[in-house]
Every structure is written in structure tokens, then in C-alpha cells.
Amino acid sequence: MMQTGFRMREENLSRREREKLRQRFQMLAAAFELFSEKGYHNVSIQEIAKRAEFAIGTLYKFFQNKEDLYKALVLEQSEKFHDALVQAIEAPSDEVEKLRNYVRTKSELFRGNLPFIRLYLAENRGVSYTLNEGLDDEVRKRYYAHLEKLSAVLESGIKNKRFRDIADPYGLAVAIDSTVNAFHLLWMDAPEKHPYPEDPDAVLNIFFKGLIAS
Amino acid sequence: MMQTGFRMREENLSRREREKLRQRFQMLAAAFELFSEKGYHNVSIQEIAKRAEFAIGTLYKFFQNKEDLYKALVLEQSEKFHDALVQAIEAPSDEVEKLRNYVRTKSELFRGNLPFIRLYLAENRGVSYTLNEGLDDEVRKRYYAHLEKLSAVLESGIKNKRFRDIADPYGLAVAIDSTVNAFHLLWMDAPEKHPYPEDPDAVLNIFFKGLIAS
Amino acid sequence: MMQTGFRMREENLSRREREKLRQRFQMLAAAFELFSEKGYHNVSIQEIAKRAEFAIGTLYKFFQNKEDLYKALVLEQSEKFHDALVQAIEAPSDEVEKLRNYVRTKSELFRGNLPFIRLYLAENRGVSYTLNEGLDDEVRKRYYAHLEKLSAVLESGIKNKRFRDIADPYGLAVAIDSTVNAFHLLWMDAPEKHPYPEDPDAVLNIFFKGLIAS
Amino acid sequence: MMQTGFRMREENLSRREREKLRQRFQMLAAAFELFSEKGYHNVSIQEIAKRAEFAIGTLYKFFQNKEDLYKALVLEQSEKFHDALVQAIEAPSDEVEKLRNYVRTKSELFRGNLPFIRLYLAENRGVSYTLNEGLDDEVRKRYYAHLEKLSAVLESGIKNKRFRDIADPYGLAVAIDSTVNAFHLLWMDAPEKHPYPEDPDAVLNIFFKGLIAS
DNA sequence: GATGAATGAGGTTTCATTCAT
DNA sequence: AATGAATGAAACCTCATTCAT
């Protein structure tokens, strides 16, 4: 079974609860594999149940319907990502190091969760189509939270005179984040053409020096 | 009927061929409207045929199947975008102006084709799912072409001493392009929070001044 | 195929329309047979389609869903009954003869449509359960219409001095109608115990002479 | 919890047996509520178990299956009705009073058990469908018993010269009974149109005076 | 004895595609 | 060439019933 990256926290639970959690995990993992392979709309509940080795009805005990299952899947992964990124920003004390750590962590998340990234991009970038109704709310909230945090790092750096007095720290945060993403997507699409953006400075240097010759 | 932005080039064609082209256009336009409203998977061929005012069978004379129709649709729009962006880069002579014009044009394309952008993002960001099998090839090729062109502009600017001697012009091109996209996506998602990024300099300034205080 | 009693009026229709009507008829007849045999809830659409020798999808072209099919079926039969009963009341000029004719016609309808009677009683006497939401409205309207007509016959008879001056003609109408029904239901349930109530006077005599010895 | 009207006779039973009876009662009451609210086919065993606050398995200890539960329910109610009606007929000594009391009791039963009446009519009028296979036998037997009792009252009245010498006392019994039912059904269907048939004489008077002017 | 998690057959309905007209 | 009626596989989901604990 492929690396799915789902976490199970099993501490302090009764045997029954642990069992439930393990089942839920099996289902999410099976669904994730299939969705990753074929995309949400090309996977049937039957298939998921069979791969997870549960009866259909059991699956429906855990998730109201296919969409619910999908949302749970994305939400749990997205939470994992979120936590890692928040942690990455907050751990170091130095602003430059915070940025570097953010980029480095994002890089690791990309590399370590390729199937999920593909799945998420495949099904979710859209706004307001059936599937994303309530899902995006949560994911977007987290995205905005990252941007705010990044932005705050920049502002703090400006105040500390670590950074030049830039006009629009939020805009720069957006730029840095989207650039990291873009680098990784290029790598994903055509790894032979675009090297894996391993070194966080490879991205950050773009922003460290201004473009215009003065 | 909503503005769909499909073009018809009818020069040098027989009456019969022109008629065919017009029919094809009707079908694409109808499909586009419906896909935009509801997403690919929530639109039936029946619906498209009815909206286009053709018989289902006629539709199948023009497109092998639903997927084919969708791909044709995206491809034609993408070609329109591509042409506009290439033109935007090539028209001005000055490198800074080329960048500005690229950003400005992309902005106009976003604003003027919101339904399509949403549709495209909703259905296509994914790699290698059924729907995108052959589609992405073409779209990606065009994306890479833009990046190359942008990159060439930067290199030329460096040679002309208009720009500082940056290490990775291709990377900067990626950064600029993805940042423009990110700004527009934020605006699309939450226009009340993120103002429409009208002024091309708003984006470019981020790259015009380096971050680190020296 | 059992006698279903569905009517087709095919005059003045194009070949296509006649064909459609015949198909619809086939479907209703098949559904009717099955519903009669097993009751609404024990018949699947698959079964109906197979018995009618159509594809499921074709069936859904004619009826929105199973319930719709059922309602159409009941409504068409009920209309047939209604027309016959109205005609029965209105044809004779004499009031006593009107009553006799009503009873006689109801008797014929019962005898000639036993499967439908059973089906209708099985599925429809209830008030406001899913199935009857809009159906009862129409059927009840017709039932009330009969009662009114019967009642009017009684009033007219009173005015003509054909009948004694009874206090509550509407109540008597209800009594006569429900008694006819009850006689037939008893016969249906246990024909060996309750003879077929052929002679209209057998019912009417009950009401022709008062009970109390004066 | 709504008034369900289930009775428990607990005399002369061991503690264990009394407990069992109470459990059975709980289950029937819960099932009755739900069936009344939504109809047999729209209620699941799961729902009943939850409402009754028993495990599904426990429920299956008491009733072989869903149908069995339903039949028990109807049978017990029907028995209650039967007993009340028999008692109503037998209590008074005078024949007219017996009739009056019968009508009055039936009226009370209708009014006091509307949900059940609806449920019964909704699911049971049909003959010989799965649901009623063995059920109707019992219910019908009781119905016939009432008719016989009513009929006997009429015959006795004739012998006593309380009633005119009518030809078909059994038919009259059927007529009276079905008319009482019809009055109540009309009231149930459209109370604003048909007043509650409270006064037993309102029904009986119809039969007390003959229709034809002599 | 009581439990309720697990089952999976079977329900209704949709819709891409075909092909006779 | 154009049509659109007909198809039926396959989708999602429910729920009566079983049986290991």
C-alpha cells in the first residue's frame, strides 16, 4: 500500500475506539489511493469499499456519502500540512530563518505527498462547484492564515531592520508562497526539465535582490 | 447568451465549411456556458445539445465524445490566451514595458474570462487524470512557451543593463507569472479582501526592489 | 396479459404520437399487472421495465419516477370510473332510476376491475403518506363530486315528492355509496359467504324502508 | 411519548415475564409511533430500535422480522377495538340503545386513535399483499364477528317488534357499520367540510326512516 | 441474554452513446 | 446528413438481518 500519510493518534482510547479509528484510517487510505489514481469522479464507492476490504454499508457508517469521505480526506491532509507549516514558521527565532524554514517545509510536504498534491489540485482549485462547497472554506482559511503569518514575519523583519522597508509585505508573502508552489509544480510536471527545488535559498534569492539595476 | 469569447475565423472557406464552423462554434459556446455554470461532471450531453439547439447525434458528428468536446473547448480558449500573451510580450520594444504589458494583459484575460478560469481551475489542475490525458500536453507546452518568452525578456534586459545581473532569469519569470496568478486568484476568491490587481506595477514592484536591507 | 382496462384514444394522432401512446400504455399495463400482483413496494422499476419490454431509461422518459408512474396509473383508472359513474347518474331521467343505475354501474366497475380495486385499496386509503400526497387530491375531488351528484339526485327526488322529506340528503348519499362499497368488499373478501350484489335493489331497499316500526 | 393505547396485562406473571412484557410493549409503542408518522415502508428497524431504546438484536428476539412486528401491532390494536365494540353492543339491554352505543363507541375509537386508523388504512386495506398475508385473516374474522353481532341485535329487535320486519338484517348491519366508517373518514379527510359525527343518531336516523314516500 | 457493527443485495435513477429512420 | 428515441451499465445509497462478542 502506498505511503498515504494519514496519521492515527491512538493514545488514551478504548479498544473499541482504537478499532474504529483504524477502520476509518483504512477507508481513507483506500479512498485516497483510488482518488489519486483515477480522480474523484472515476472512483466508485464499491471500489473504495472493496479496496478497503469493508462492506459498502460499513463505509457509510463512517461517512455520510462519497463527498463527505472526500472532504474528510482532504481536510485531514490539509490539517497536517497546516500544522507543519505553522510549526515551520514559528520554530526559528530569526526572520530569515523563518522564511527559509517555511520554504524548506513546504518543499518536504510537496515531495512527501505527491499523490495528495495531485489529487487536491485536480479536484479542488475550482471555486464553488459541487464538491468544494464547504471544503474550500476550511482550506482557504488555512491558506489565508499562512499568508498572514508569512506577512507578519516580513513586517517583523522590517521593524528589526533585517529587511528593507517594503511597501506591501502581504503581497510579498503571496509572491513567495506562490513562487514556491510554482517551482514545485514545474518540478512535478517535468522533473527532467526543472530540478527539484531543494535549496530554500533558490527561491528566496529571487526576492532578496531587487530586479532593477539602480 | 453570455460572452463566451470563442472566435471564428471564416476566411477562405466554402459556404459549407463556414456553416460547419458556425455549428461547431455554437456547440462549444453552449458547452462552455454549461460547464462554467456547473462543472464538467454535472453537465450532460443532452443538456449541451439542447442548449446548442442541435441533436445529440449532430454533436457526436463534431466531437468524438464528451471529453473530446471539453478538450477542444479548453484548447481553443487556451490558444486565445496564449496568442494574447505572446502578442503582449512582443509588442513593446522596451523590456520593462514588455513585463508591464504581460501583466496587464494577463489581468485583462483573468477579469474578462472569469467563468473559463474557474472552469479550468476546477477541472484541470490535476495531472494525468482521465480528463487531462492529452490536454495538458498542449496547455503546458504553451505555459512553458510563456515562461521562456518572459525569461528571454529578462535576459535581454540584463544584457541591455536595464536589469541587474540576476542569477536565474527563468526562475524569476516563474515567480512573476505565478505571482500574477496568485494575486488574481486571491481577488477571485475574496474580492472584498483582495483588491483587483489592476496596476501592473503593483505586482512588478515586488520584484523591482530586493528584500534584504543591505 | 390480464385485462387491464386501460384505454387508448388514438384518433387524430400522428404515427409518432400513436406509437408513444401505445408505449405508454404498455408500460402502464405492465406496471399495473405487477403492482396488482405484489403491491407497489414489492415491485421494482427493473421488473416493470422487463415486463413491459422496454429499457429502464425508456420508462423514465415517460414517467419521472416510480411514484409518478403509479399516480398516472391510478389517475387514469380513476378517471374512467368517474366518467362511468357520472354518466350513470345523468343518463336516466327518473330519480329512482338514477340511483339504481349508479349502484349497477358501480357494481360493474367493481366486478370488471377487481385487480385495480385491490391495488387502489391496498395503497391509497391512507392519508398523507408519501405516496398519496398529490394523488388523493384528485381522487378525493372526484369522490366528493359523486357524493354531491348523488345528493342532488336525492334532493331533486324530495322536491318531486318521489322521496320522503329526509333531513340529510348528503348523509344519505354517503350511506348509500359506502354501503355499495361495503357489499362489494365483502363479496371480494369472501365470495362464498357474500353473494355478488348484483341486484341494485338489494342495496337500495335497505334505504327504501325505514328501520323503526312506527 | 404519544398516547399509544397499548395495554399490558401483567397479572399472575413472574417478574421476568412482566419485564419481558414491558419490553415488548415499549417496542410496539415505538414502532407504532413511527409507523403512524411515516408509514410502514418509510420506517427502518434501526429507527424503531433507537426510539424504543433497545438494541436491534433485542428487537429481533421479540419479533421474527419487521413484518411480524407490524402484524403484532395491528393485531393488538384491533383486539382492543374489537373488545370495546363487543362490550358496547352487549352492555345495554335495549336494542336501539345497543346500536347507539355501538356507533358512539366506534366514534370514540376513531377519534381517539386517529394515527392508528390512518396507519391501518394506509397499509392494510389491500388483500393478499405480502404484508397482509396472515394479518387480514384475524382482523377480518373480528369484522365479521361485529357484523354478526349487529345483525343479531337487529333480528332481536325485529322479534321484539322494536324494529320493522326488515328483509335483510345482515345487509343492514353492513350498511350501518360502513356508513359510520364513511362518516368518520370524511371527517378525517376534510374536517372543515364534514363535521365530527358525534351524535350517534345522526347516523342512525338515516336508517330509521325509509326513503321512499309512500 | 443482550448487543449493535457489519453486511451486501437490491433499490432507484442518470446519462454517454448508438443507430434506425 | 441530421436526428433523438432507446438503451442499459453503472452510479450512489439504504436497511433488514445476522452473529461474534
Strand E: which bases are under 7 Å from protein Cβ? 1-20
Domain boundaries, chain C: 1-63, 66-208
Distance B57 CA to E19 C1' (A): 10
Ranges of chain A with pLDDT below 50: 1, 124-131
pLDDT, one tens digit per residue, over B120-159 is: 765 543 333 444 555 567 888 888 898 999 999 999 998 9
Nearest residue to D173 via CA among C154, C201, C108, C211: C211
Q: Which are the contacts of B117, defined by CB distance < 8 A and separation ≥ 6?
A: B110, B184, B188
Class for the domain spanning C66-208: mainly alpha
Distance C45 CA to E13 C1' (A): 10
Supply the pLDDT for residue B16.
75
Chains that touch B (3 or more CB pairs under 8 A): A
Q: Work out the mean pLDDT of chain B and round it to a whole number.
A: 83
Supply the pLDDT for residue A36.
82
User: 3-class SS at C70?
Assistant: helix
* Interchain contact, C174 vs D188, CB within 8 Å: no
Q: How confident is the model at residue B1 (pLDDT cuts 50, 70, 90)?
A: very low
Supply the pLDDT for residue B154.
92
Distance B86 CA to F5 C1' (A): 48
Determine contact, residues A55/A49, Cβ cutoff 8 Å.
yes
Query: CB of A130 under 7 A from strand F?
Result: no
Mean pLDDT value of segment C138-155: 90
pLDDT, one tens digit per residue, over B97-124 is: 999 999 999 999 988 888 888 777 655 4
In one-letter notation, the amino acid at residue B66 is K
User: 3-class SS at B212?
Assistant: strand
Q: What is the DSSP letter of D9?
A: -
CA separation (Å) from C213 to A174, B121, D80, D175?
A: 101, 90, 34, 18
Q: How far is D214 from chain C (nearest CA, A)?
A: 8
Q: How far is C208 from chain D (nearest CA, A)?
A: 4
pLDDT at C20 over 90: no
Supply the pLDDT for residue C40.
82
Supply the pLDDT for residue B5.
56
* Nearest chain D alpha carbon to C164: D213
> Which residue has its C-alpha nearest to nucleotide E14's C1'?
C57
Say how far apart CA D200 and CA D198 lie, in whole Å. 6
Question: Number of C:D CB contacts under 8 A?
Answer: 152
* Interchain contact, B209 vs A212, CB within 8 Å: yes
Which residue among D125, D171, D209 places its CB closest to the CB of C206? D171
Nearest residue to C193 via CA among D22, D145, D67: D145
Query: CB of B63 under 7 A from strand F?
Result: no
Instruction: Find the nucleotide nearest C19 (Cα to C1′).
Output: F5
Largest CA distance in chain A: 68
Say how far apart CA A19 and CA A61 lie, in whole Å. 14
Distance C130 CA to E9 C1' (A): 25
CATH architecture assigned to B1-63: Orthogonal Bundle (1.10)
Supply the pLDDT for residue B122.
59
Supply the pLDDT for residue A129.
42
Supply the pLDDT for residue A20.
87
Exposed, middle or buried: residue C131 (CB in 10 Å: 0-12, 13-18, 19+)? Answer: buried
Cell numbers describing residue C156: 331533486
pLDDT at C1 over 60: no
Query: CB of A14 under 7 A from strand F?
Result: no
Interchain contact D/B (3 or more Cβ pairs less than 8 Å): no
Q: How confident is the model at residue B214 (pLDDT cuts 50, 70, 90)?
A: low
pLDDT at C69 over 60: yes
CA separation (Å) from A167 to B205, B207, B209, B211?
A: 9, 12, 10, 11
Supply the pLDDT for residue C46.
92
Supply the pLDDT for residue B191.
86
Distance C17 CA to E19 C1' (A): 21
What is the end-to-end Cα distance of chain C in Å, rounded?
56
Q: How far is D70 from chain C (nearest CA, A)?
A: 16
Q: Which residues have Cβ atoms closer than 7 angstroms to strand E?
A: A 19-20, 23, 54-58, 60-61; B 42-46, 56-57, 60, 65-67; C 43-46, 56-57, 60, 65-67; D 54-58, 60-61
Quick count: other Cβ atoms within 10 Å of Cβ D76? Answer: 17
Supply the pLDDT for residue D87.
94
What is the CA angle D144-D117-D120, rounded to 5?
70
Mean pLDDT value of segment C42-56: 92
Within 8 A of C167 by CB-CB distance, chain D residues are: 205
Supply the pLDDT for residue D7.
60
Supply the pLDDT for residue C7.
59
Supply the pLDDT for residue B124.
45
> Which residue has its C-alpha nearest to nucleotide E6's C1'?
A58
Q: How far is A137 from chain B (nearest CA, A)?
A: 10
> Which residue has its C-alpha nearest to nucleotide F2's C1'?
B58
Supply the pLDDT for residue B130.
43
Q: How far is D30 from chain C (nearest CA, A)?
A: 18
pLDDT at C88 over 80: yes
Determine contact, residues B52/B27, Cβ cutoff 8 Å.
yes
Supply the pLDDT for residue D11.
64
For strand F, which residues in window 25-54 of chain D come within 7 Å by CB? Answer: 42-46
Chains that touch D (3 or more CB pairs under 8 A): C
Q: How far is B9 from chain A (nearest CA, A)?
A: 31
Instruction: Find the nucleotide nearest B47 (Cα to C1′).
Output: E15
> Which residue has its C-alpha nearest to nucleotide E5's C1'?
A58
Determine contact, residues A174/A143, Cβ cutoff 8 Å.
no
* Interchain contact, C179 vs D183, CB within 8 Å: no
Query: CB of C60 under 7 A from strand F?
Result: yes
pLDDT tens series, chain D, 214 aa: 445 556 656 566 777 778 888 999 999 999 999 988 888 888 999 999 999 999 999 999 999 999 899 889 888 888 999 999 999 999 988 999 999 999 999 999 988 888 888 777 665 433 234 445 555 678 888 888 989 999 999 999 989 888 888 888 999 999 999 899 889 888 887 888 888 887 888 888 888 776 555 5
For strand F, which residues in window 61-80 of chain C come within 7 Å by CB? Answer: 61
Supply the pLDDT for residue A195.
85
Say how far apart CA C43 and CA C38 lie, in whole Å. 7
User: 3-class SS at A163?
Assistant: strand
Supply the pLDDT for residue B126.
35
pTM for the predicted model, two decimal places: 0.80
* Nearest chain B alpha carbon to A118: B126
Nearest residue to B176 via CA among A110, A105, A182: A182
Quick count: other Cβ atoms within 10 Å of Cβ A78? Answer: 19
Instruction: Find the nucleotide nearest A47 (Cα to C1′).
Output: F11
Quick count: other Cβ atoms within 10 Å of Cβ A214? Answer: 7
* Interchain contact, D131 vs C39, CB within 8 Å: yes
Supply the pLDDT for residue C203.
86
Q: How many residues does chain B have?
A: 214
| The three-state (H, E, C) secondary structure of B53-119, written as one string | CCCHHHHHHHCCCHHHHHHHHHHHHHHHHHHHHHHHHHCCCCHHHHHHHHHHHHHHHHHHCHHHHHH
* Interchain contact, A126 vs B128, CB within 8 Å: no
In one-letter notation, the amino acid at residue A146 is H
